[in-house]
Chain A
Amino acid sequence: METKKLCLALYTGSVDKLTAAGIILSGAAAVDMQVDIYVLLMGARAFRKDVGDDSGKLHMAENASLKAEFLESLKSLNVKTWVEFFREAKSITDVKIHICGLAGKVWGGEKLGDFIDLADDICGIGAYIESAQEADVNLFI
């Protein structure tokens, strides 16, 4: 079976959109897609070691006043955190997470070790363009 590739430009650092990205990643993992994630600007903040899935440090992209209700509902439905979704997808299929060098610097991260252990490398935007050109599915979240 031919391996399909998903390229995700992950701009968001919001808990609602990161959760959505995690759910999409799960779908990709279920069908053994190869996944490249390029973490851009706000996304790199969420990958900082002191942020991750600490929902208190993550904002909402949509309707901030619904954050508590949103998080409570996810919990009651036994839905994983965005970090758990990403980690599980990595354990099932080939998922590589690349932190944009500029995005990292914006949030004080210079080295791979400055980010949570999901990140695989620090890259430039050329790598994203190349990956996007080769991908079967391209998403910007």
Chain B
Amino acid sequence: MLQEELKSIQVAKTVDARGTACPGPLLEAKKAVGTIKSGDIMEILSADEGTKVDIPKWCTKQGHEYLGTVEESGYFRIFMKKG
């Protein structure tokens, strides 16, 4: 998705994992995805560079859809749709 589309997208849940290093954000995402419905969009905030790679791969493996990443100052906003 385009960056502008991602920035204005409605999310069902935001997971703020900026206080944790790898593997914290991935596990926070894993735990949070169980609390939303199929088709819901979730945003993961992470300051960990590795999360940018991990979440898209994890989405593919787990049957979710990775929508894209927006870089903010000092952190990333990673968007996904639950499968």
How many angstroms from the CA of A77 to the CA of B23 in the assembled complex?
A: 11
User: Across the interface, which residues of A come within 8 angstroms of B23, CB to CB?
Assistant: 23, 26-27, 30
B61: nearest chain-A partner, CB-CB: A31
User: Across the interface, which residues of B come within 8 angstroms of A88, CB to CB?
Assistant: 27
Q: How many A-B residue pairs have CB under 8 A?
A: 34
Expressed in whole angstroms, the minimum distance between the Cβ of A6 and any Cβ of chain B is 14
Expressed in whole angstroms, the minimum distance between the Cβ of B50 and any Cβ of chain A is 11
Instruction: State which residues 1-44 of B face A: CB under 8 Å.
Output: 19-24, 26-27, 29-31
27 of the cross-chain contacts (CB-CB < 8 Å) are: A23-B22, A23-B23, A26-B23, A26-B26, A26-B27, A27-B23, A27-B26, A29-B27, A29-B30, A30-B23, A30-B26, A30-B27, A30-B29, A30-B30, A30-B58, A31-B61, A32-B62, A78-B20, A78-B24, A79-B20, A79-B21, A79-B24, A80-B24, A88-B27, A92-B27, A92-B30, A92-B31
* Number of B positions contacting A (CB below 8 A): 15
- The answer to whether A31 touches B27, judged by C-beta atoms less than 8 angstroms apart, is no
- The answer to whether B19 touches A78, judged by C-beta atoms less than 8 angstroms apart, is yes
Q: Would you call the interface of chain B mostly helix, strand, loop, or mixed? A: helix
Chain A contacts to B: CB under 8 angstroms: 1, 23, 26-27, 29-32, 77-80, 88, 92
B20: nearest chain-A partner, CB-CB: A78
Instruction: Determine if B74 is an interface residue (Cβ-Cβ < 8 Å).
Output: no
